[in-house]
Amino acid sequence: MKIRLRSILLTSILIAGLGFNFAPPAFAITAQEQARCDRINARIDNHIARFDAAKERHFTRYHSVKDRIKARLDRLDSKGYNTQQARIDLKTFDDKIKHTERNYAIVIDKLNTAKTFTCGQSQGQFKQAIKDAKAQLDIVRADVTDMKNYWHDTLKVDIQNLRAQKGNITPVASSSASPTTTQ
């Protein structure tokens, strides 16, 4: 028993004297933490892919609406309608679309920034980046609501006002018509 106690004591002194440290270093992460980090990065990648797909779909629709209104205004302008106010409002609508696109790109950029932080080592920077991305997404949602309201409350009203001009329009003479002479 003395020998066993002495060998345990000697081993522990030897290990302590050589500086062995069996605790994992501060920068190493466990397999469980690494799996968690991989899941988080996969979720962020899924969000970015969904946002990119939705961005393409939504902004294609908004640009299509803008182009259809512009084509209609061109037709009505050629018939002699006063489309000046509707064109000004259409320009504002186009600016709102561009503003929303920029904000949407910022959301995706903030999510990509969140992915760059070292998992488990960011001291709250990752969490703050995700909060910033969510706040920016709220701004995008407000921009989209603003565009929809602008369409409904302004552009739609402009088109209805153009319909009201229907009885007051004098036809524009075609440049290809030849003048007739009476004899």
Could you give the 3-state DSSP secondary structure of residue 169? coil
DSSP 65-129: HHHHHHHHHHHHHHTT---HHHHHHHHHHHHHHHHHHHHHHHHHHHHHHHHHSPTTTSTTHHHHH
Q: Model-level pTM? A: 0.70
Largest pairwise CA distance in the chain: 142
Sequence-distant (≥ 6) Cβ neighbours of residue 125 within 8 angstroms? 117
State yes or no: pLDDT of 82 exceeds 70.
Answer: yes
Q: CA–CA separation, 131 vs 116, rounded Å?
A: 15
Structural tokens at position 126 = 């990752």
Q: CA–CA separation, 48 vs 42, rounded Å?
A: 10
pLDDT in tens, 35-78: 888 888 888 899 889 988 888 899 999 999 999 999 999 999 99
Determine the distance from the C-alpha atom of residue 43 to the mean position of all C-alpha atoms in its chain, rounded to a whole number. 16
What local confidence, expressed as pLDDT, does residue 4 receive? 62
What local confidence, expressed as pLDDT, does residue 172 receive? 54
Q: CA–CA separation, 9 vs 2, rounded Å?
A: 10
pLDDT in tens, 85-111: 999 999 999 999 999 999 999 999 998
**Amino acid letter at 7?**
S
